[in-house]
Amino acid sequence: MIIFDNQNDLKLHLEINGVNKKIGFVPTMGALHEGHISLIIESTKKCELTICSIFINPTQFDSKEDLEKYPKTIEQDILLLKKNNCDILYSPNKSDLYKSGEKAKKYNFKSLESVLEGIYRPNHFNGVATIVDKLLNIVKADYAYFGLKDLQQTMIIKELVKLNKIKTRIIGLPTIREINGLAKSSRNKLLSVENKENASHIYKQLLIIKENFKQNSIDALLKNAKEKLINNNITIDYIEIIETNTFKISRNINSKKEYAICIAAYVNGVRLIDNLIL
């Protein structure tokens, strides 16, 4: 695996070695886990060149404290990438991607950014879109892979690609979970064993909603889930059923549409998100 810390060297390498090759790209913020690795593996199956980026993007964080406590495990990450046949790692400093004082661009993602994460993290998606836009223009991959645990983010990135006429095809892959059902996340490293076990109640409630989705009213299902989670000391930002294509919050079921249940909640101060397609 070749490691680059600046975009000019990476671009030059790709101009020489990436010609007529299918390129797969997995952008990450590091603290890699099985979810990230599943994306790498999928890319290596389909593409002749697989690139991973590790960059903790400051413009998508709500607070400096949250940015600073984000887990950093670069040596372990490099070993994992090598073990799983990643060809290139791009791991730059902030100055390689942002000019001094540069802020996130403002995008118009319409209804996609006006619900759920868009309400609770109002500048988050502009930050995500800004860095993904930069990275896709550097790498110019044929395919970019994202985990569907971040369902709303994946939809935002698909919209970004349309808006900016980027040729990269965005591929969303299923959520990888712990044995107890907890969605794999870099933030899980901030949870104790006991906290992780408690966090498993999130997935259990999503499963209950999925199993009863067509038999019970949405309001009743959500009310019951909220009560169970609160009783297990889990604080909820939101738990909502949405139409997957529009992210419109729904209270009525239309058999011709696809829905998902989405949640953001805190376990011992650590914010976790999850979803299930219904």
pTM, to two decimals: 0.94
Phi, psi of 83 (to 5 degrees): -60, -30
Tell me, what's the pLDDT at 218? Answer: 92
pLDDT at 163: 95
Q: For position 238, what pLDDT does the model report?
A: 97
pLDDT in tens, the chain (278 residues): 999 999 999 999 999 999 999 999 999 999 999 999 999 999 999 999 999 999 999 999 988 888 998 999 999 999 999 999 999 999 999 999 999 999 999 999 988 989 999 999 989 999 999 999 999 999 999 999 999 999 999 999 999 999 999 999 999 999 999 999 999 999 999 999 999 999 999 999 999 999 998 888 899 999 999 999 999 999 999 999 999 989 999 988 888 899 999 999 999 999 999 999 99
Give the pair of three-digit tokens for residue 2.
């070749």
- 201, 269 contact by CB (below 8 A): no
Q: Is residue 36 annotated as part of the catalytic site, yes or no?
A: yes
State how beta strands 143-147 and 169-173 pair.
Answer: parallel
Q: With CA atoms as reference, report the closest residue to 84 among 49, 38, 20.
A: 38
Name the catalytic one among 33, 36, 124, 201.
36
Identify the residue whose tokens are 């209270």. 251
Please say whether the beta carbons of 214 and 253 come within 8 A.
yes
Within 13 A of 142's CA, how many CA atoms are on the CB side? 15
Domain residues of the chain, as ranges? 2-173, 186-277
CA pair distance 222, 181, nearest whole angstrom: 19
Give the residue among 146, 168, 183, 170 at the shortest CA–CA distance from 40: 146
**For every residue of the chain, which 3-state class applies, written as one string?**
CEEECCHHHHHHHHHHHCCCCCEEEEEECCCCCHHHHHHHHHHHHHCCEEEEEECCCHHHCCCHHHHHCCCCCHHHHHHHHHHCCCCEEECCCHHHHCCCCCCCCCCCCHHHHCCCHHHHCCCHHHHHHHHHHHHHHHHCCCEEEEEHHHHHHHHHHHHHHHHCCCCCEEEEECCCECCCCCECCHHHHHCCHHHHHHHHHHHHHHHHHHHHCCCCCHHHHHHHHHHHHHHCCEEEEEEEEEECCCCCECCCCCCCCCEEEEEEEEECCEEEEEEEEC
CATH class, 2-173 region = alpha beta
- Quote the pLDDT of residue 63: 86
CB 223, CB 254: distance < 8 Å: no
Considering the domain 186-277, what is its CATH architecture?
2-Layer Sandwich (3.30)
Asked if 70 and 185 touch (Cβ cutoff 8 Å), the reply is: no
Residue 62 has what pLDDT?
Answer: 86
Structure token pair of residue 158: 């698909």
Residue 254 confidence (pLDDT) = 85
